[in-house]
A and B are shown apart, each in its own frame.
Chain A
Amino acid sequence: MPEEILRLERVCKTYNVGLPTEAQVLHDIDLKLERGEFLALMGPSGSGKSTLLNVVGLLDRPTSGRLLIKGEDTAALDDAGLTRLRGHTIGFVFQYHLLISAFTATENVMMPMLVDRGFPNAEMVARAEELIDLVGLAKVKDNPALSMSGGQQQRVAVARALAMNPDLVLADEPTGNLDSRSADSVFELMRDVNRKTGASFLLVTHNLDLAKRCDRIIEVVDGRIQT
């Protein structure tokens, strides 16, 4: 039986609780994701996709409901515990690449490992170079992060998301800012990594063609999953 990586049970998210501006963004979300699954999350703007991704990525806490990562209930974890679990289990690919401009491509890929272990070492460098190679950027590995094209930056972001061998990669419209050729190439890269590493992917996208190439499509409308 495949391992369950993610489970959401009746997860709600409400902002500004108790204030006149109170707004419920997620309503009773139930969701399961198994190891190696590649899931597309679709929905109109403002439907709650990014909020859902932030909750799943442990960047935000649900207002109610249960969120389990690899069977561990996250409600009991404090900020440090969430940070540790996030660092070791989840990788992120953001829409706007979001590389750290003060570092090179390889250094950006090293960053999650460096943050986790404290000091740089040869093993980290080798792992980062291996990932840079995997995303086909060996030639520009020492280039400053922002001197690369959008497609290249997003490839670096994918490599960075894989640095800690995560069980789950959350990608928030990773191809939204790329031309169709680059978008296709980045998507194929993620699909390839998914097959090779067995990491589960939760991909937020507006691109139906890409979504159709995923294992499953889930649609979020007004903070609810449409079945």
Chain B
Amino acid sequence: MTAGWLPFEWIAAVRFLREGRLQTLFIVGGISIGVAVIVFMSAMLLGLEANFINRVLTSQSHIQLIPPDQVARPLRGGGGEYEDAVVQRPSQRILSIDQWSTVVARLHAMPEVTAVSPTMSGSALAIRGQASRAITLTGIDPASYFKIVHIPDYLVAGNAKVGSEDIVLGVELAKNLGASLGDKINVQAASGAPTALRVTGLLDFGNKGVNQRNAYVALRTAQALIGMIGGVTTIETTISDIYAAETVARRIQASNNVEADSWIATNAQFFTAVQAQETSNSLIRLFVAVSVAFGIAAVLAVSVIQRSKDIGILRAFGATRGQIQRVFLIQGALLAFVGSLIGSALGAGALVYWHAVARQTNGSELFPLILERQLFVYTAVLATLTGLVAALAPALRAARLDPVEAIRA
């Protein structure tokens, strides 16, 4: 020990930890494993969540506007008449959004809205030779629609060009119809004549059901097929803050004659699952932190007993109760801090390994590798605070030791 910037408390804390090497090694090992579990779980959950959100939000809009449900109202009875208030729900016809171009203009005027695309959706029949399949037909304006749903990303053959006589199909649908690129198929909606369209692209959404049903055509083609010239059934929208989707949707609905569904509402099940996972993750983190804290407290409590003579000597030579208390608090914080650094490295290493090993059936990554600096900083800060809190009881005990008893011990 020469002249230095470390105060007495730090010097004593470090020396005591260094001298009890094996004890220090075991507790740092325990803390590291605990922190590694927390880092690994948190980062993986973050990755899985980000992956799901990314998948959802590249295949659907943030907010979808549709016409409001048609409702039946009971006719008012005349004077002296009683009415039976049983009102049947009317069947929902495919309707165009009222004044949809005004709604689109209003959406464009909202600063948080980043893209808007009107579409026409409906059911139709795709026929080729003897084969026919029910399809979900979506008429799109490619320029605006591709900003919302990244159709070109799902292309496995051809291109995403949708001219007035073109159609882009899911791969399963094409297979069922026996159609390949360049082939013509007939498409017929319930109200309209069959139209022959040329297959220009094949899509794979990674979902067999979707691949069996989905077909994309130009907006005008869909309007003609469904028999609703100039109308749109849906307005797809993206916004800058995806988590504000529900609030923005409510605002849009309040100022327009539409029903606005946010991606949060349409994927409520996912959010429930994420919440459940986060709750269980938080509980695991809490229990790991508590067991780490008990570990630190136990080691320091033993250390206070082992060091009681040293404490007595230091007190005899003028060390205050505060100085003794700080020596043990620093030990707790140091153990936890060093453990958190090693644990973070272990957790990150395990995550990198798991990311490389755990693959989806098609060989792509199961979750994106997200190792944010923030996570490590929070972990280190929280672990250090946990160490401090855990050291509190042993430190108080050390400070309260009677020097005479301690020296005699």
Option from A79, A98, A114 in Cβ contact (under 8 Å) with B11: A114
Q: Is the interface of A mostly helix, strand, loop or mixed?
A: helix
Q: Which residue of A lies closest to B18 (CB)?
A: A102
Can you name the residue of chain B whose Cβ is closest to the Cβ of A124?
B3
CA distance in complex: A164, B316 (Å):
13
A194 at the interface (CB under 8 A from B): no
Binds A, one of B76-84, B222-230, B306-314: B306-314
Q: List, in ascending order, chain B residues with CB within 8 A of A70's CB.
A: none
Q: When the two chains form the complex, which single residue of B5, B18, B317, B404 contacts A115, counting CB atoms closer than 8 Å?
A: B317
Residue pair B404, A60 in contact (C-beta under 8 Å)? yes
Tell me the chain A residues, 79-94 only, with Cβ under 8 Å from chain B.
Answer: 79-80, 83-84, 86-88, 92, 94
Asked if A88 and B8 make an inter-chain contact with CB atoms under 8 angstroms apart, the answer reads no
Tell which of A80, A106, A120, A124 touches B320, judged by Cβ atoms closer than 8 Å: A80
- Asked whether A57 and B321 contact (CB < 8 A) given A102-B16, A119-B5, the answer is no
Task: Identify B316's interface contact among A57, A103, A104, A120, CB under 8 A.
Answer: A57
Interface size on B (CB < 8 Å)? 30
12 more A-B contacts (CB under 8 A) besides A59-B403, A88-B318?
A: A87-B318, A92-B316, A98-B309, A100-B310, A102-B15, A103-B1, A114-B1, A114-B8, A116-B318, A119-B7, A120-B2, A125-B2
Q: Judge whether B320 and A83 touch: CB under 8 Å.
A: yes
Interface residues of B in 291-322 (CB under 8 A from A): 309-310, 312-321
Is A185's beta carbon under 8 Å from chain B?
A: no
Q: Which residues of A contact B319 (CB under 8 A)?
A: 83, 115
Within the assembled complex, what's the spacing in Å between the Cα atoms of A100 and B12?
10
Among B7, B15, B18, B321, the residue within 8 A (CB) of A79 is B321
A84 in complex: contacting residue of B15, B318, B404, CB < 8 Å: B318
Instruction: Show the binding face of A for B, using Cβ within 8 Å.
Output: 54, 57, 59-60, 79-80, 83-84, 86-88, 92, 94, 98-104, 106-107, 110-112, 114-116, 118-122, 124-125, 160, 164
Residues of B within 8 A of A92 (CB): 316-317
In the bound complex, residues from chain A placing their C-beta under 8 Å from that of B321 are 79
A87 to B, closest residue via Cβ: B318
Residues from 9 to 35 in B contacting A, C-beta threshold 8 Å:
11-12, 15-16, 18-19
Most central of B7, B316, B319, B323 by chain A CB within 10 Å: B316
- A88 to B407: give the CA distance in the assembly, Å: 20
Q: Which residues does chain A contribute within 8 Å of B2, judged by CB atoms?
A: 120, 122, 125
Q: How far is the CB of B1 from chain A (nearest CB, A)?
A: 5
Q: Does B6 contact A (CB under 8 A)?
A: yes
Interface string of B398-409 (1 = CB under 8 A from A): 000001100100
- On chain B, the residues within 8 Å of A116 by CB distance are 318
User: With A and B bound together, what is the CA distance between A120 and B321 in angstroms?
Assistant: 20
- Contact residues in A for B12 (Cβ distance below 8 Å): 102
- A88 to chain B: closest residue by CB: B318
Q: Say yes or no: A118 contacts B318, CB within 8 Å.
A: no
Residue with the highest number of chain B CB atoms closer than 10 Å, among A54, A60, A100, A160: A100
Chain B residues whose CB sits within 8 angstroms of the CB of A121 once the complex forms: 3
Pull 12 A–B residue pairs with CB atoms less than 8 Å apart, ordered by A. Answer: A54-B404, A79-B321, A83-B315, A83-B318, A92-B316, A94-B313, A100-B310, A102-B16, A104-B1, A111-B317, A114-B11, A118-B7
- Given A54-B404, A98-B309, A101-B19, verify A115-B318 contact (CB < 8 Å): yes
Partner of A87, one of B11, B18, B317: B317
- Asked if B15 and A103 make an inter-chain contact with CB atoms under 8 angstroms apart, the answer reads yes
Q: Is the CB of B5 within 8 A of A94?
A: no
Which residues of the other chain, A, contact B129 by a CB distance below 8 angstroms?
none
Report the separation of the CA atoms of residues A79 and B6 in the bound assembly, to the nearest whole angstrom: 26
Quote the shortest CB–CB distance from B176 to chain A (angstroms): 79
**Cα distance A11–B407 when bound, in Å?**
23
